[in-house]
Structure 1
Amino acid sequence: MLLLTVIALVAWHFLGGGGQGKPARNADSAAQPVGVATIATTDLHVLLNGLGTVTPLASVTVKTQIAGQLMSVGYQEGQTVKKGDFLAQIDPRPYQVALEQAQGQFARDTALLKQAQTDLKRFETLNRQNSISKQQYEDQVYLVQQDQATLITDQAAIDSAKLNLAYCHIVSPVDGRVGLRLIDAGNYVQTSDATGLVTITQTKPMTVIFTVAEDNVPAVAKGMQAGPLPVTLFDRANTTQVAAGTLQTIDNAIDTTTGTVKLRAQFANDDNALFPQQFVNAQLLVQTVKGAIAAPVAAVQQGAPGAFIYLVKPDNTVAVQLVKTGISDSGMIQITDGLKAGDQVVVDGSDRLRDGAKITIPPPPGSTPDQVPAKPNGAKAGHKG
């Protein structure tokens, strides 16, 4: 009795009893809802991103070149100064006295030279007459030369004294912004002071040093040969644009510890948006591919034969289409072979598809059936495959 029951159940199963096999057979023939996109031509950009630090072209610590009492300070903290603007004054009186001493010594030695030259003229006459010894004449010649050399030394002393007087009047060596005051008037300053008088940082123009991977160096170098490469800066959160400028140079060596190379970009910074040592995110535009055939990145699948997409056919089916890809930019990827402008591809729901599968394209949210064609690529509405 038990054996007859088992045989009956097996026969009932293979004959389709209970309808368990029907849903499996209908699943393949059911049209799958998918999202599609139309292939178009657009400009794609090759962008490199790197972490950067705002680095001024010049940051100068102004130090005294002579010792003396600081008489006055001619700047305010945070002030913007121009090259040559007055910064500080050191007591010039000791150096003025040294200048006058050097000038007096020069005048004395000038008189001695003139006296020696006059004696030499007389000795020349007497030497021709053999009235004096040859040695006496030669000694006078050498005395004139010594006095001439002494005048050169005296002139150097005068120039040195004048230079020290110039050092008493301290001016800005660059255009820039003055930092916090490091010393007040009345203090005695020396050349050995480590802190200096004030720091000046050039803020216009401003540069940013950032890094990119060493693999990108050939592309960057090639791009620079065609002209200046644009660089865009974003804030620490990488959301707000801070400044726009151009790439200036590539470092002369790759950092082997990190596998990166440093790049320097320059920015006008007219709005003072960049501050020294500020952290920024740099975006370098290396190349622009104009009129590229582009597809959404989500449309490209990877399989055993390589990259492929599901191409929407006019009969509401899809076909597997092998493609070759290029650069990607902002969610779009370049298709170098396999598609043309106007083709429709599946961008959502491709995991449920196979070659030749039937699809349906849901209408966009908020649209009415009359506004949405039932067939892709201009097929007749209402036709069912």
Structure 2
Amino acid sequence: MRPAISLLPFEITTGAAPKETLLNRSQKGSFSMFPPNHHHRLLALAGCVLSLALAACSKSPEGAQKGGGGRGGGAVPVTAADVVKKDMPVILPGIGNVRAFSTVSVKPRVSGQIAELHYKEGQFVKQGDLLVTIDPKPFQVALAQAKAKQNQVGTQLNLAQKQADRYVALQKSGAVAKEQVDQVQSDLKVAQANAEAEEAAVEAAELQLSYCTIYSPMAGRVGRRVMDAGNVVKADETELVVINQLQPIEVVFSVPEQYLGVISKEMAKGPLKAGIALNENAAAQTSGELTFVDNAVKPATGTIELKAMFPNKDLTLWPGQFGEVMLTLSTQKDATVAPAVAVQIGQKGPYVFVVKADKTVEVREVVVERTVADESVIQKGLNPGESVVIDGHLRLFPGAKVELKPPVGSEAPPAEAAGKQVANTVP
């Protein structure tokens, strides 16, 4: 019998006396791999290894399955939802930037010192509300001077008119020469021109005085206070306050140029509806309407700029915000629709777990035409009335037994995975 090869420093034999090993030789005083005081430890270690190996081999398959889970466990608890047939919008998505419908930078039309501010930062104002008062005293003085000059010129005009009338009467009786009459009539015309000039000067002074009170040119929300009372401002240069019109408000976004044709076609049928979601947790506003399509495509990006108008009655939209815009192009009738969270992605593409009548699941590949909010339009692979798993996918395999449980806390499918995505919405 050939000797066994052992990785241990001794051999395990049965029957005959043990053969000489490194350990035997160490006891005879020859070469030893381990110190003598380790012999008992090695024997104990070898015994433990053998015991563990025998115990592992002695376990039955039934014992391994008693732990539950996996393919040998009970029914897998899942949540399912029905595939339905319904009308679905055809949506073109884009990233939009919220902008004020109108923005006015209020500047003084006269130079002077600010006497009083009549608004508070962030206040909503109506058209015609008083905003700023500039010290009116210098302009009141200028108006008084203009009126005094007007009175002086008016007196001169009256005198010139009387003198002209007198000379005309004398000319009829031959008392004065015609040249004298021409002179006084010329003086009358000069006096009339001076009177008109002074009248215009008075109107100009009144206008300058009126510019000392600055009113809101439109309804909107005022921004931060730029100037305080006491500061001297310069006409048409110093910015006093910025007003943004927030109701309505517009959203600017761009779409690829290849959709320009379908947008123009659908706009010819009527106004196109638009919605916007500021983030994945916010409810989308769907009351918008497409109001503008630019007249040229941007060559650098191959996109065209669009604008949508929103009433913004609840003031949830604010200038400067970004959001996901959803432009509704048309409506697809009787589409096959499944919850978006039911669609999983595998090596071969999208698939779903279909719950069969015997409470087992079938893995079925599907073709997703597009996803709108938390619903997917299925082009191929599912039929209305079938039931698909929307929660509990991780423990499933083809043919697995399932136990249906109701959705937690909501009748709608959970929107934890693809529920808020609006990608690939245009076929």
Q: Which amino acid aligns with 2:328?
A: L
State the partner residue of 1:203: 246
Q: Is the 8 A contact 2:290 2:306 kept in 1?
A: yes
Residue number in structure 2 paired with 1:240: 282
**Does the CA contact (< 8 Å) of 1:82 and 1:175 recur in 2?**
yes
Q: CA deviation at 1:169?
A: 0.9
Give the aligned residue type for 2:311. Answer: A
| Distance in 1 (alpha carbons) for counterparts of 2:138 and 2:259 | 61
Partner of 2:133: 89
Q: Secondary structure at the match of 2:230?
A: coil
Match of 1:135 in 2: 179
| Uncovered stretches (5+) of structure 1, i.e. residues with no partner | 1-37, 299-324, 345-360, 368-385
Q: Which amino acid aligns with 1:331?
A: S
1:64–1:167 contact (8 Å) kept in structure 2: yes
2:104 to 60, 66, 86: 60
For residues 123-272 of structure 1, the aligned pairs below 5 Å read 123-191=167-235, 193-194=237-238, 196-235=239-278, 237-244=279-286, 245-272=288-315
C-alpha distance in structure 2 between counterparts of 1:228 and 1:85, whole Å:
35
CA distance in 2, matches of 1:343, 1:175: 53
Q: Which residue in the other structure is 1:304 paired with?
A: none
Residue pairs, 1:1-385, within 5 angstroms? 41-191=85-235, 193-194=237-238, 196-235=239-278, 237-244=279-286, 245-291=288-334, 330-332=375-377, 365-366=402-403
Report if aligned partners of 1:44, 1:334 keep a CA contact under 8 Å in 2: no
Question: Is residue 74–residue 87 contact of structure 1 (8 Å, CA) maintained in 2?
Answer: yes
Q: Which runs of 5+ in 2 are unaligned?
A: 1-81, 344-367, 387-397, 405-427
What do the CA deviations read for 1:47-92 (whole angstroms, capped 9, x no partner)?
Answer: 1111111110112221111111111111111111111111111110
Matched residue type, 1:241:
A
* 2:85/2:336 contact within 8 Å kept: yes
| Conserved 8 A contact 1:46-1:328 | no
Q: Match of 2:282, as an amino acid?
A: T
Give the letter for the 2:155 counterpart: A
d(CA) in 2 for partners of 1:333 and 1:145?
90
CA gap 1:45/1:131 in 2 versus in 1, 3 angstroms: same
Q: State the 1:158 CA deviation.
A: 1.1
User: In 2, distance between residues paired with 1:328 and 1:177?
Assistant: 38
Q: 1:86 to 1:296 in 2, by over 3 A?
A: closer
Sequence identity of aligned pairs in percent? 35
AA aligned opposite 2:319: P
CA distance in 1, matches of 2:384, 2:323: 40
Kept in 2, the 8 Å contact 1:51–1:282? The answer is: yes
Rounded to whole Å, the distance in 2 between the matches of 1:92 and 1:343 is 78
The alignment partner of 1:148 has SS state of helix
State the 1:239 CA deviation: 4.9
Residues 134 and 364 of structure 1: CA distance in aligned 2, closer, same or farther (over 3 Å) = farther
The whole-number CA distance in structure 1 between the counterparts of 2:401 and 2:186 is 108
Letter of the aligned partner of 1:332 in structure 2?
Answer: V
| TM-score computed with the length of structure 2 as normaliser | 0.60
| TM-aligned CA deviation for residue 143 of structure 1 | 2.3
Letter paired with 1:204: Q
Q: 1:293/1:72 Cα in 2 relative to 1: closer, same or farther (>3 Å)? A: closer
Q: Name the CA distance, whole Å, in 2 between partners of 1:70 and 1:81.
A: 20
User: CA 1:148–1:364 in structure 2 vs 1: closer, same or farther (change >3 Å)?
Assistant: farther
Aligned residue number for residue 375 of structure 1: none
Structure 2 CA distance for partners of 1:58 and 1:295, relative to 1, 3 Å: closer
Contact 2:336 2:384 (8 Å CA) reproduced: no
Aligned length in residues: 288
* Cα distance change of structure 1 residues 109 and 327 upon mapping to structure 2, 3 Å threshold: same
What CA RMSD, in Å, does the superposition of the two structures yield over aligned residues?
3.4
Q: Is the 8 A contact 1:44 1:327 kept in 2?
A: no
Q: In the alignment, what sits opposite 2:408? A: none
SS in 1 for 2:211: helix
- The Cα of 1:140 is off from its aligned counterpart by 2.4
Q: Give the 3 Å change call, closer, same or farther, for CA 40–270 of structure 1 in structure 2.
A: closer
Alignment-derived partner of residue 50 in structure 2: none
- Measure the CA separation in 1 of the matches of 2:210 and 2:139: 10
Deviation of the 1:222 alpha carbon: 2.4
| Distance in 1 separating the partners of 2:186 and 2:369 | 85
Q: For the residues of structure 2 that align with 1:101 and 1:204, how far apart are their CA atoms?
A: 45
SS in 2 for 1:89: strand
Q: 1:139 to 1:253 in 2, by over 3 A?
A: farther
Secondary structure at the aligned position of 2:246 is classed as coil
When Rg is computed on C-alpha atoms for both structures, the one with the higher figure is 2
Question: TM-score scaled to structure 1, two decimals?
Answer: 0.66
Cα distance in structure 1, aligned partners of 2:339 and 2:137: 78
How far apart are residue 231 of structure 1 and its match? 0.9
Distance across 2 between alignment mates of 1:99 and 1:363: 95
Q: 1:290 to 1:129 in 2, by over 3 A?
A: farther
